[in-house]
Every structure is written in structure tokens, then in C-alpha cells.
Structure 1
């Protein structure tokens, strides 16, 4: 590590592109393009570091960090967008995934670092380095550097929500198009709120969107981009020269910009009230057991027990198909290949009653995650650590609960070989349950709905593949379980350091091959 000291900040400034270790370097004059704090994992109210991207008058960019012990010293001296003359910095090799600049090195603030406010009209205000979309699409693997992309928003998905570790995370997918092609961009968490706020200020037409410091991710051999927590920045129809220049070029390349942004991907899922009170015929458990017609039916019942006839979870590929241990890895029949990272997914059987009749229902991953507010990976890791009983004790907390179940009945799927029924959706809202029971008469709702689309997509058929959840799969890709002799790695590349490892090889070695497969949950979405 080399220290560069310079007491006179009015000397000739060093070019950022020329900064190298092994020689004494002087002061730099830079603009802070991006500035953010990295919260401590165990205590989000504390911060581990202050991170920033710096740019000089020649367009050279470099990453810089302030370690935890020095945050209070420099936090009040630096502002995003400000220009500063800085000296007495350390310089060392840059490393890690998703680097913010192409510079081989990064700067570190020291207790003796001097920061002096300055001004300069020669330094770019935003420091964009746009990458054409066709170049993004040409990637065949995750790119280690963050990129800037600008394009016309030619599509936006319905907003979805996912429950992870007891927290609800929003997600939306947008489609960006430039003169070279189009690509998808997935936004998570606060970035969804940021986009909604900026979209709310628009009048009409397709907006121009710039996504700065985005990461390139691969899924099924297709490249897309998504936000990185804290670092990514989004601009929508911003009054910025670079965006105005792009807008002027649209007409030249024949891209229409005066239409309404179309909805892409799957349609929003109906509300719980609509699904259980308006969409499906109501049946008692006794009626359900003798049904000969196909369809989806709403049933009210009380959970009286957990059925431990088979394991309550199973290992699945990223495509959500079940996998089986094979030659030190796992084999996915859907992808027709061996995989080395699998995701644990719920498959829990409950006995429910409504008076004198009872039946067995099977609840899969999305609904179990919804009612427990925890991922399957959490309970798998917890059960191995506790060395507990046949199922997590949290499951027993559902016994005695009154719920509404939307169950699928068909010649192929209704009875799952043992008389059990697959649950498509669950409602625990007491108000909706009361309305359901007070309506009386177990018959088809008076409101005729259009053909039902399976938004849940918890399909029991091997024909269905999760084609529209690539970004969501990238999100849950961090909840992985490795094959025998390895470990679980629960990690989020976007959310800072978070690594929990436990050996789950024995659990997977004993996993039976499931006959059914499921897909990622899509929760209630409200369209504007």
C-alpha cells in the first residue's frame, strides 16, 4: 500500500487514469459522481464504510472508500456531485465482484487525507459511460464491472412482491431499447419506489431511462441488467445533456416515443378478496372429496395437523423443477443437465377439517413462504442446526388456524396419488374469511369471470417452465444449496456482505425425487 502526500493542494493535479501504486502521487481534483454508505449486516443502523466513485476533468474514474473508523471524519466533508481537491490518499488493487470503474486500483481515505472543496466546469456532472444494448446482450457470463445503459422504456412489468427472511421485497422489470437492440432491467426494493415516483411525474409518451452502475446478469444464456444496492442510480426523462442527446437520436433510428408504455410479462395477480369471493365456486370438504368436475374451488377449513408421510421440502433447480442426487451433483430432467446449485422448496401436507369431513392438502413454496414469512432455505438450515423433529416446530403454529384454500381439481392433478389436493392459494385474512362464510350457499359465484390465468404457476405438470421469472430467479438465486460434500450459501451480491454456510449434504442425500414442480410466487400487484 502506497501513501501519496501533498501539502500544497494548488499544485498540478494528477490524472486519475495514471494513478498507480509504487510511486509518490500528488493531489487529485475530482467530482464525487456517486456516494453511499454500506450498512453493517448485523446492525443496519451502523455503517461499515463510505463508498464513492470519483471522476476528474479528463473523464478518468476511480473507486474510493472510507473505512468505518473514519466515516465521522469525512462524512460531513463530502457530498454527491461536489468537486474536491484531495491529497494524502492510499492506493491499492481493486478486487471483488461488480466493480464500479474499469480502473485497476482504488483509493483509500486515511486519517491524514486532506479534502478541500473546489469548483470545475470541466468535470462531467454525471460521468456517464454508456454501453450499447447490443453489447450488453452479447455477454455470455456475468460481467465483473458495473455498466451505464440508456434507452427508451418500451415495456414495464406489473409490480411483484417476494418474502425473504421475513421482509417483503418489491420487484419490477422494465424493457430498455436503443438503436442497437433491447434488454431487460430488473429493479428491486427501494429502486421500485424510486422508479414509481419518477414515473408518476410523467405526462405521456415513452420515457428515456438511464441506469447508472448496473450489473450484468446471465439467466438461461440471456444477459440482462439489474440494480446494485446503494450504488445504482436511475434517471427518467432527466434534463441532462446525455439523455437529451439520446432523445434526439431516436427519430433518426425510427424508435417511436409518443406511445404509452406497454405492460410486459405476466398479468397482475387478483386480490385475495376477488379470488376467494368472486372467482371460484365454494365447496365443503365433503363436496370436494366427491367432485368429478375439473376446476379451482374455494374451501374453508381448519388446520388440524401436519402430515409427515414424506419430507416437507425438496431440492429444485433454478428452473424450479425437482432434481435428484446423481454422481456428486444433481440432475434436472427439465434442463437435461447436471446442476451444482439447487434451491430448497416447500412441499408440506396438512390435514384440514370443516365440521365432520377432512382432507389432505399440499402447500407448496410460495404459499408456505407467504404464511410463515420465511424462505424454505431458512428452515432447512435451521432444522439441520437444531437436529429437530420431522418438521420445523413453526409448522405446528398453524394448527387450529382457520383458512381459505383455493385448491385445483382435475383428472390429472386433483388427487396427487394419495388423495391429497394441491393448494393454489391461501387466505388468512379474518375479514375475507368472515365474508366467505357469511355468503352462505356453496355454489358458483354470481360474478362471471374471464378464464382464469394461473398467476400462481405452482404447476404440477412437467410441461411448464418458469420462462417469465428470470429476474426473480436471479434474486432468489442467492438462496442456494450446494450438492453433497459442500454447503449452503445464503448470499445477496447486491446487499453487501451476507454469508451463512451450513453443511446440508445429508439432507439432500436423503431427498426423494418429487413428481411435481413449482414456480416462483407472484403476489398481489396493483396496476395504476
Structure 2
């Protein structure tokens, strides 16, 4: 028989005193003392009751619960993960942790008056998953949202080592997950969860791998959204024989079977490296060829960051929900009945029509850095956004802007950006409809890498092609062009303030030098009309090519001694 004073978790509030809750411990861990990591401060739990929610399609409301060290002797040996209990006479406490695992400002707290009894009649879900895969990609969500995610392991990238607090290193691995609608999201596994995945992949017997990450942490970087495990609360299920994974697997494989034979092979190479994303997935081209692309697609280019474009802003204000840009307007605010008593204030409106927040009270400052990237064929403008800029600069955009506004160099580029210059990367860029429709020659960076192995393989492929081309021509020494030492002004200049190169594309390119060169050549050459413009000589260049090039050159023929 169940207690008479039994209530649901959603009914809890500060007015309740003598009550009982019936819950399952979904997750349990021990929290160390911040001042002494070797000492346990409390036992932390995520608990769930039996109540079913049709709205979220999961069983049970969740709450956090804590048992502090003082009460360990009474409760510690009785608390087990996945077990169900009646908890008599607990109390409520403020859930004041910065990173919350449940959407609740209060939590259950055990005390001396609290009693515990195992329950064998629990009817709710065993795990209480709340899958939100679709909404991760399309709905506005706050940063650091806790969620559960299920998906097919589309690709695993190589393990990386990253510095963490205390001068230590942590291992991590990124995984690309696919949902039932073919959408992808990046999942980052750290430390023990990374090792758990590695162990499974090395010993796996099944071709297809499906997983659930429970209590993940959503990170939002501009338009990119990733999920990572949390140090304590996260739980990882890999091909586990539980209902949720079995049902997802059945639906996923059914969808694959309905597609044409041209569908990619699923699960043939489960463990791959970062190289796949830069060497195998999409095309690599040189910078000169970018403007020849006439379709929306992703591309890889390799080049050095040579300059920053001072004529474009390096930051923008964004909506704190959807991360899209905001429009700044002014509004009139009346202070009283007198029409003359008012003030004008700024207002920020989100430019995303699908965002649930029209007026943005606290817009975020985010990176949008236009850089000039150069290879041996040309130079192009690329735009680096928040995620990649944060990694390379090591500071958030707001701090950089605040520092710049307080200095005397407000009209110049921040000195912090100097760390970007003369560094070579492989860039993954996007050619969008906007570029094609507006002939816009600046492109967004979606990912970059400084991995020397990847860059070397890309460049080796490019230069091998160049060698083959030159061998087929095989010019002799007599056919090589005349070399003349001419000093031309470079189109990239440097500021005297902080040494950061800036784009100076309107600068003339050595006009005087060109005139002097032509005058000197005319002394030893006869000037003859180009055959392409002569009515008596055969044209070797098409008329269209001449129009495109605005051809007006003359042909110089060496004079012979008489």
C-alpha cells in the first residue's frame, strides 16, 4: 500500500512539509569537495517519478536530489542507481549550481528526519529519455541546454588531446550522428566516454552502431550546434539492447532500405579520422578556381592568412537565442503625460523570422572576421566566425571589443588578431546562393585545420598535377619568357600602428614603373599591331576573349642590326 501523503515531483513547492515522493534514481554520482578533491562533499542524484508526459513523449518528471556528507552514514549504503524508492519527509533546497541537469530551481535534499524505503511497484520508464534531435537543429535553444540525443554513428574522427585546467591534458573524440530524417549533428565525447567509445569500436561485432547520450550539454557557436558529455551526469549507451535503441535501429534501417542503390554505404568505415572531412568528403581546389564554380557546394582550399579586411566589421551583434544578426533601431519612450517628456533608446530586433524572440534585450557580440587568404594562384576573402575564431584567438569577441574601445586604437584592427597572420590552414568553405546570385567573392568558413599532415597531402596532390601539366609542354630555354627585374607595389600594405596587414585593393599597381618599362622595351623592339587586331593577319584569339580582357596591347618584335 502506498503512503497517503504521496505527491508528484511537479507538485513540490516551498509550502510542503510532511510529504512522500515515489521515484527512480536515474543517475547517481559523488561530488568532491572543491577545496579538497580527495574528500566527497555530497551524493548527487537525478530522480524521476512515474508521471507520464504526452507532450514530451517520455515517462516521468525529473528533479535533482542531494545527500550531504553529514548524512552519509544513514543513506549512502542504501542508494543505488536505477533502483526505485519511497522517500519520506525530505526537504527542498535551492538548486544554485551554475550548470543544472534538470530545469528546476529547487532540488530534493535529504535530512535526519528523512526515511528511505525500496519500492517494487514502480510503473514509470527505466531511463526517462527526452529525445530532442530535430529541435536541436531548428529551434532556438539557450546555450548549455541539457538534453538526450539518439542517433546512428555516421562517422568517428580521430582522438585528440586538449589542455584542461591544472596544466593537464584530456582526450576527446568527435562523432557525427545522423537522425531518422538524415540530419547530422556533432557529438563530442571526453575522457571516460571517449575511451568507452574507442573500446567498443575496436571490439565491435556489428556493422551499424547506434548510441544514446543521456544528459548531454548543448553548445551553440553561431549557426553550428554541438553536443558534449558532462563530467558527472552523462550516461552513454552504445548498441545497448534497450527498447529506445532497438526501435530507432529498426526505423533507421527501414529508411535506408527504401532509398535507391545510390545511397551511401552505411557503416562500412566506422572509425575514420579528421582527414576524411578534408581529403575524402569534398573537392579540393586552388583559390583561382573558386570563381569558376557555378553551383552551391562545399570546397576545401589551402592558404596562408595574409591580411585582415579593415573595410569590413570584424564583429556583429546577435540574438542570444538563435544567434542570427540583429537590427538596431531607435524607439521613443514617454516618461509622463507631457508629450515633451520622453527619451530615445536603442532597440535590437532579431532578423530571423523563425525566432521566437522578436526584441532582443541583451544581444551578444560575436566574431565575424574577414580575412585575406592566399595560395600560389591567388587571394580570396573568407569570413571566420565565432567557433573557429574563439579557438585561434583564445578570447571572446566582447572582451576584445571592450579592450579596443578603451584604447586609442579603436579605428584599427585589434592587436589580438595578429596571431592569425602568416598561418597556413586547410579551410572548408561554402559557396551559397548568395555568392552566385550577387557575384559576391567572399565565402564563409565552416571548419579549418592546421594539421600539417592534411595540408601536406592536399598540396602534394595539387603540385603533382602541376608537374604533369608542365611536362606535357616541356618548353626549351629559348621559349622561356624574358625576365626583367621590375619593382611593383604590392596590393597588401601594413598599418604602422600594430603591424596588422589590411586589404588595400584600391591602390594602383605601379603605373610609373609600367610606363618606364614600355619606353625601355621600345628602344630595342619594333612595335607592330597585335595580330588579333589586324585586318590582314590571322586572328589567334577569339573576339569574345578580347572583349572580356579589354585587349589593347601591341606586339613587340626585336630589332635587327642593319
Please, what TM-score do these two structures have when normalized by structure 2?
0.49
Aligned match of 2:159: 159
Q: Superposed, which structure 2 residues align to 1:44-443 within 5 Å? A: 44-58=37-51, 59-71=60-72, 73-92=74-93, 94=95, 96-103=97-104, 105-131=106-132, 133-143=133-143, 145-165=145-165, 166-180=167-181, 181-254=183-256, 259-261=268-270, 263=272, 265-266=274-275, 336-337=314-315
Task: Please say if residues 393 and 417 of structure 2, whose CA atoms lie closer than 8 Å, have aligned partners that are also in contact.
Answer: no
SS of alignment partner, residue 107 of structure 2: strand
In the alignment, the residues of structure 2 paired with residue 523 and residue 219 of structure 1 have an alpha-carbon distance, to the nearest angstrom, of 25
SS of alignment partner, residue 194 of structure 2: helix
Task: Please say if residues 9 and 87 of structure 1, whose CA atoms lie closer than 8 Å, have aligned partners that are also in contact.
Answer: no
Q: 1:338 to 1:247 in 2, by over 3 A?
A: closer
In the alignment, the residues of structure 2 paired with residue 183 and residue 192 of structure 1 have an alpha-carbon distance, to the nearest angstrom, of 17
Q: 1:513 to 1:13 in 2, by over 3 A?
A: closer
**Per chain length, whose mean CA-contact separation is higher, i.e. which structure has more relative contact order (CA < 8 Å, sep 6+)?**
1
Task: Please say if residues 17 and 89 of structure 2, whose CA atoms lie closer than 8 Å, have aligned partners that are also in contact.
Answer: no
Aligned pair partner of 1:36 in 23, 29, 38: 29
In the alignment, the residues of structure 2 paired with residue 246 and residue 81 of structure 1 have an alpha-carbon distance, to the nearest angstrom, of 22
In the alignment, the residues of structure 1 paired with residue 141 and residue 307 of structure 2 have an alpha-carbon distance, to the nearest angstrom, of 24
CA displacement at 1:98 relative to structure 2:
4.3
Deviations, residues 263-317 of structure 1 (Å, cap 9, x unaligned): 3644699xxxxxxxxxxxxxxxxxxxxxxxxxxxxxxxxxxxxxxxxxxxxxxxx
Aligned match of 1:432: none
Q: 1:201 to 1:239 in 2, by over 3 A?
A: farther
In the alignment, the residues of structure 2 paired with residue 240 and residue 251 of structure 1 have an alpha-carbon distance, to the nearest angstrom, of 17
SS of alignment partner, residue 75 of structure 1: helix
CA displacement at 1:175 relative to structure 2:
1.1
Q: 1:86 to 1:46 in 2, by over 3 A?
A: same
CA displacement at 1:220 relative to structure 2:
2.5
Please, what TM-score do these two structures have when normalized by structure 1?
0.52
Q: 1:478 to 1:516 in 2, by over 3 A?
A: closer
Aligned match of 2:418: 514
Q: Superposed, which structure 2 residues align to 1:484-503 within 5 Å? A: none
In the alignment, the residues of structure 2 paired with residue 198 and residue 78 of structure 1 have an alpha-carbon distance, to the nearest angstrom, of 29
Task: Please say if residues 323 and 333 of structure 1, whose CA atoms lie closer than 8 Å, have aligned partners that are also in contact.
Answer: no
- Select between 205-214 and 101-110 the one with higher mean Cα deviation: 101-110
Task: Please say if residues 152 and 257 of structure 1, whose CA atoms lie closer than 8 Å, have aligned partners that are also in contact.
Answer: no
Deviations, residues 159-194 of structure 1 (Å, cap 9, x unaligned): 111123421111111111112322111112222112
Higher helix share: 2
Q: Which has the larger radius of gyration?
A: 2
SS of alignment partner, residue 191 of structure 1: helix
In the alignment, the residues of structure 2 paired with residue 240 and residue 485 of structure 1 have an alpha-carbon distance, to the nearest angstrom, of 50
Task: Please say if residues 17 and 91 of structure 2, whose CA atoms lie closer than 8 Å, have aligned partners that are also in contact.
Answer: no
In the alignment, the residues of structure 2 paired with residue 128 and residue 31 of structure 1 have an alpha-carbon distance, to the nearest angstrom, of 13
CA displacement at 1:100 relative to structure 2:
2.2
Deviations, residues 336-388 of structure 1 (Å, cap 9, x unaligned): 21699xxxxxxxxxxxxxxxxxxxxxxxxxxxxxxxxxxxxxxxxxxxxxxxx
In the alignment, the residues of structure 1 paired with residue 392 and residue 121 of structure 2 have an alpha-carbon distance, to the nearest angstrom, of 44
Task: Please say if residues 97 and 145 of structure 1, whose CA atoms lie closer than 8 Å, have aligned partners that are also in contact.
Answer: no
SS of alignment partner, residue 99 of structure 1: coil
In the alignment, the residues of structure 1 paired with residue 311 and residue 81 of structure 2 have an alpha-carbon distance, to the nearest angstrom, of 50
CA displacement at 1:476 relative to structure 2:
9.4
SS of alignment partner, residue 418 of structure 2: coil
SS of alignment partner, residue 35 of structure 1: strand
How many matched pairs?
A: 327
Deviations, residues 415-441 of structure 1 (Å, cap 9, x unaligned): xxxxxxxxxxxxxxxxxxxxxxxxxxx
Aligned pair partner of 2:10 in 14, 17, 33: 17
SS of alignment partner, residue 252 of structure 1: helix
Q: 1:161 to 1:202 in 2, by over 3 A?
A: same
Deviations, residues 27-69 of structure 1 (Å, cap 9, x unaligned): 1121100011222344321233321111122212111122344
- Select between 136-145 and 210-219 the one with higher mean Cα deviation: 136-145
In the alignment, the residues of structure 2 paired with residue 268 and residue 153 of structure 1 have an alpha-carbon distance, to the nearest angstrom, of 15
Task: Please say if residues 46 and 65 of structure 2, whose CA atoms lie closer than 8 Å, have aligned partners that are also in contact.
Answer: yes
Deviations, residues 106-130 of structure 1 (Å, cap 9, x unaligned): 2112232212223235132212121
In the alignment, the residues of structure 1 paired with residue 68 and residue 100 of structure 2 have an alpha-carbon distance, to the nearest angstrom, of 17
Q: 1:236 to 1:477 in 2, by over 3 A?
A: farther
Task: Please say if residues 63 and 107 of structure 1, whose CA atoms lie closer than 8 Å, have aligned partners that are also in contact.
Answer: yes
In the alignment, the residues of structure 2 paired with residue 33 and residue 136 of structure 1 have an alpha-carbon distance, to the nearest angstrom, of 23
CA displacement at 1:223 relative to structure 2:
1.6
SS of alignment partner, residue 101 of structure 1: coil
Q: 1:62 to 1:80 in 2, by over 3 A?
A: same
CA displacement at 1:76 relative to structure 2:
2.0
Q: Quick check: 1:483 aligned with 2:394?
A: no
CA displacement at 1:242 relative to structure 2:
1.2
CA displacement at 1:473 relative to structure 2:
8.1
Task: Please say if residues 84 and 122 of structure 2, whose CA atoms lie closer than 8 Å, have aligned partners that are also in contact.
Answer: no
